[in-house]
Copies of this chain bind each other. A is one copy, B any other.
Amino acid sequence: MENEEEIVELEKEILECISQRKVQKLRQLFEEYPIIDIAEALDNVENIADLLFVFRVVSSDYTAELFVELTDAQQENLIAAFGDKQLIELVKNSYADDIADYLEDMPANLVSRVLKAADPQLRADVNQLLNYKENTAGSIMTTEYLSFNKNETVESTIEKIRENGRDAETILTIFVRDNSRNLVGTVNLDDLVFAKKEQILSEIMDIDFVTVSVNTDQEEVAHLFKRYDLNVMAVVNATGKICGIITVDDVVDVMSQEAAEDIANLSNVSNIEDPYLETPVLKLVLKCAPWIIALMILQVFSSLILSNFQGEINKFAILSVFTPLITDSAGNSGGQTTGLMIRSIGLDEFHRGDWKKVIWKEFRVACTVALVVSIFAFGWLMLEMSTGIVQCRLSDYPSLNVSNDTVLHLLVALLVSVTLAVSIILSKTFGVILCWFSTKIKKDPAVMAEPLVTTLVDVTSLLTYFLIWSFVIGPFLGI
């Protein structure tokens, strides 16, 4: 579903069930609709008695799932309001990674309430997960998985899954360890189900499995899932022992986070962890203002150049009309190159040795774009000046060494379009080289390359513009 009208309808029904305390109907809605839709319908329920009613009457399989999807405020209020028995019930039905996720943002007294309600094993798991650094494999893995000795038979494995499987986050893949508890293979549930009962796991297991360490960056984890089309992956420690698993649904979340991070970086916003509407105004200001200020400081170089050529502008004010056109076009061209590179890096298109080809290719692209754009610009500027959109009249500059307006227009259009050509080639070349360099030093090009390209490009394009003016066009015009 996730159809606007259906959600509105569901919201109405649920709120009615709650306000009129209709137990049967409410239970039925929990069976019929995905939990996330129900959570969204409950988004604006702030009365804690209403939420408690839901948690009391609906089966705890559903409510544990629901709890994860509620807003932070709702979660905190519920934990504070739950009786001990309810809390134990909730924790018992939750996965360790989910508990760790919502504890991360809670006040200490509520955290200790939740941990007290967990049994020792679960508490140890949650504590361990809370200690992994953010954005690593450790922080997104879960500790509820199934692993068996490689000499176990298919029959006894199935029997054990039947007994214990319900606590695992996935039983679709089981992990096989040797006698020293190192991970040596994986078995998919379907292979297990269709194997002969007396076979042992080492006969049917796959050995070309992929693992990561607890400290691997989550972006790398997502990359491996994509590359190897995985549904689940083991996280191992330094000695090769399995300490958790990551399932593909967690990776789907990581991927949207990482894409969001790239977009924020490209737009010069520092990374935001919380949803926009839950982030306070001042925090948003802190993510935005420093970048604007930093970019303003970097502009000191352009100001320096413009200030040094004030004399030229004084003599021929029309020059200042075209500076934004030149710096913007060059900046946009450089931005296209860094965008293309960031895109390809994200799609994992470039491997060892490819960069030389990439730089050469982008250089050829740059030359062609420069040619096309500057030819267009020449015509466009002639049009702007001849129609008077941009006023460039010989009568305003009586001392000039040319015979009529058209010659003047031709020279100005030539100046601007040659500058554009040079700037576009430089900006695209800078762009690709800076992206190569930032991957080389293992920095994110979206953070580093963009502002640097803009600054470099502003400086070089303004310099080109005023130098061509001062040494070629200006003297020719007799200025």
On chain B, the residues within 8 Å of A101 by CB distance are none
CB pair A224 B2 closer than 8 Å: yes
Report the separation of the CA atoms of residues A346 and B263 in the bound assembly, to the nearest whole angstrom.
10
CB pair A259 B264 closer than 8 Å: no
Contact partner of A295 (CB less than 8 A), chosen from B7, B300, B328, is B328
On chain B, the residues within 8 Å of A361 by CB distance are 276-277, 281, 284
Additional 19 contacts, C-beta under 8 A, given A189-B189, A193-B193, A281-B361: A2-B224, A165-B190, A225-B252, A231-B249, A259-B262, A263-B339, A266-B267, A267-B336, A268-B335, A276-B343, A289-B369, A293-B373, A296-B325, A296-B373, A296-B377, A302-B324, A304-B389, A320-B320, A320-B323
| A interface SS class | helix
- Is A391 among interface residues, defined by CB-CB distance under 8 A? yes
Report the separation of the CA atoms of residues A262 and B323 in the bound assembly, to the nearest whole angstrom.
29
A residues 353-391 in Cβ contact with B at 8 Å = 354, 357-358, 361, 364-365, 368-369, 372-373, 376-377, 380, 384, 389-391
* A170 → B minimal CB distance (Å): 9
Q: List 25 A-B contacts (CB under 8 A).
A: A2-B210, A2-B224, A33-B208, A34-B228, A36-B228, A162-B194, A189-B193, A252-B252, A255-B255, A256-B259, A263-B263, A264-B340, A267-B335, A268-B336, A269-B340, A277-B358, A284-B340, A288-B336, A289-B368, A289-B369, A295-B328, A302-B324, A302-B325, A303-B390, A313-B317
- Is A306 among interface residues, defined by CB-CB distance under 8 A? yes
On chain B, the residues within 8 Å of A248 by CB distance are 231, 248-249, 252
Report the separation of the CA atoms of residues A194 and B165 in the bound assembly, to the nearest whole angstrom.
10
On chain B, the residues within 8 Å of A311 by CB distance are 317
CB pair A281 B364 closer than 8 Å: yes
CB pair A321 B340 closer than 8 Å: no
CB closest residue in chain B, given A8: B352
CB closest residue in chain B, given A275: B349
CB pair A328 B299 closer than 8 Å: yes
Contact partner of A281 (CB less than 8 A), chosen from B208, B303, B368, B380, is B368
CB pair A292 B369 closer than 8 Å: yes
CB pair A317 B314 closer than 8 Å: yes
On chain B, the residues within 8 Å of A349 by CB distance are 275-277
CB closest residue in chain B, given A321: B306
A residues 401-437 in Cβ contact with B at 8 Å = 424
* A308 → B minimal CB distance (Å): 8
Given known pairs A32-B208, A268-B339, the reply for A380 and B324 (CB within 8 Å) is no
CB pair A391 B347 closer than 8 Å: no
CB pair B256 A226 closer than 8 Å: yes
- Is A172 among interface residues, defined by CB-CB distance under 8 A? yes
- Is A85 among interface residues, defined by CB-CB distance under 8 A? no
Report the separation of the CA atoms of residues A29 and B357 in the bound assembly, to the nearest whole angstrom.
30
On chain B, the residues within 8 Å of A343 by CB distance are 260, 263-264, 267, 269, 272, 276
- Is A139 among interface residues, defined by CB-CB distance under 8 A? no
Given known pairs A284-B365, A306-B320, the reply for A275 and B347 (CB within 8 Å) is yes
* A425 → B minimal CB distance (Å): 13
- Is A333 among interface residues, defined by CB-CB distance under 8 A? yes
Given known pairs A259-B346, A349-B276, the reply for A310 and B317 (CB within 8 Å) is yes
Report the separation of the CA atoms of residues A464 and B384 in the bound assembly, to the nearest whole angstrom.
23
- 7 smallest A-B Cβ distances: which pairs? A267-B339, A259-B259, A320-B320, A306-B321, A307-B390, A229-B249, A276-B344
